[in-house]
Amino acid sequence: MRTVGHRRDRPITFSASAELLVEGARFNDEIHLLPTGNLTFIPKGVTRFSTHEEANQDQLNRLVDGMARIAEERFRELRARNFLAKERGFTLTELAVVLVIVALMIGGLLLPLAAQDNIRRTQETQKTLNDARDSLLGFAAANGRLPCPATALSNGIEDPVGGVCTLFNAGDTVPVGYLPSATLGLAPVDSKGRLLDGWNNPIRYGVTVANSSAFTKANGMATTGMTSLAPDLRVCASAPAAAALAVGQCAVPETANVLAVNAVAVIYSLGANASVAGSGTDETNNPNPNATIAADRVFVSHEPAPVGAANGEFDDIVVWLSPNILFNRMIAAGRLP
């Protein structure tokens, strides 16, 4: 038998007196005042038991049930708090660190992508230029001459057809225009029929006027004869000094700074900087929209150089036609004796 508060045990009777009912109600109120807050786990009202043991057991059961319920509620509460702590996301500091890392990663990815793109365009352009050179050899084998350059208005057709080629600007001494893609049957071309490089800019073409334009006139090479033919286009390793440029050479004497002294034709792309550059010391030698030097027989070719290089930025891609390869093909085709 347990005593709760100052309750006096009373004998169990089967006829509830008013005094016992009052005592039961008072007992319930006392239970409600226990230090468990408002939760006593004992429901209000009067419950009848046969024995005190049964009453005590019921009280204990309700306490145990109640405490278990509280423990369960606390557990759920704690679990919810932990979940919120885990799911609350990033603080501003953490977010800033993450953003810096992401920016670094993107920067690291973009740079190689841009570089890769440039490499791809360069390789594409190199192949286009080589194909163009092959097509010139084929054209020469078939026609006994080389084509003149195209103009911006000639729709990819050489201008003029089979003769002394047009000089495009005042002061020019060599015809330098666009590769005559339509005459050669090359693609892809723009709306003006000009073969495009990897940056979608038209490819340029210059051809020698040596031997009174024998290389572009019908049967000019055969008539002049191999031993007399002296193509004169220069491809220099860098811009010639003024004295050399004045005589159309890479150097004086021409024993240095020279890649070719007898090119028949030069085919080139202005590179990625076509629209904005071309006036640097080296690029200005390859006629382009931004160059100021008239078209002459001197061209420059070397590895790309960045902005700020001694002779300025350089990204032109230049190939040229050797007279010996041309003669070889012409002989094979029966165009030269």
- Exposed, middle or buried, 290 (CB in 10 Å: 0-12/13-18/19+)? middle
Min CB(184)–Ca ion separation in Å: 23
Closest residue to Ca ion in the complex (CB): 271
Min CB(263)–Ca ion separation in Å: 12
Q: 315 pairs with which residues across the strands?
A: none
Min CB(286)–Ca ion separation in Å: 6
Q: What is the distance between the alpha carbons of residues 88 and 120, in angstroms, rounded to a whole number?
A: 46
Nearer to Ca ion, 159 or 283 (CB): 283
Min CB(244)–Ca ion separation in Å: 12
Min CB(283)–Ca ion separation in Å: 5
Min CB(318)–Ca ion separation in Å: 10
283-286-292-296 Cα dihedral, nearest 10 degrees = 140
Q: What is the distance between the alpha carbons of residues 303 and 122, in angstroms, rounded to a whole number?
A: 12
Binding residues vs Ca ion (CB under 5 A): 270-271, 273, 283, 285, 296, 298, 315-316
The DSSP annotation for 148-216 comes to PPB-TTTTT-BSSSSSSPPP-STT--S-EEE--HHHHT---B-TTS-BB-TTS-BPEEEE--HHHHTTT
Sorted by sequence, the CB contacts under 8 Å of residue 156 that are 6+ apart come out as 150, 178, 180, 181, 182, 183, 189, 192, 193, 194, 195
Nearer to Ca ion, 317 or 326 (CB): 317
| DSSP three-state, residue 284 | helix
User: Per residue in 208-234, is it b (16+ CB within 10 Å) or e — as a string?
Assistant: bbbbebbbbbeebbbebeeeebebbbb
**Angle, to 10 degrees, between the axis of helix 323-332 and the axis of helix 92-143?**
50
Nearer to Ca ion, 203 or 330 (CB): 203
Min CB(278)–Ca ion separation in Å: 6
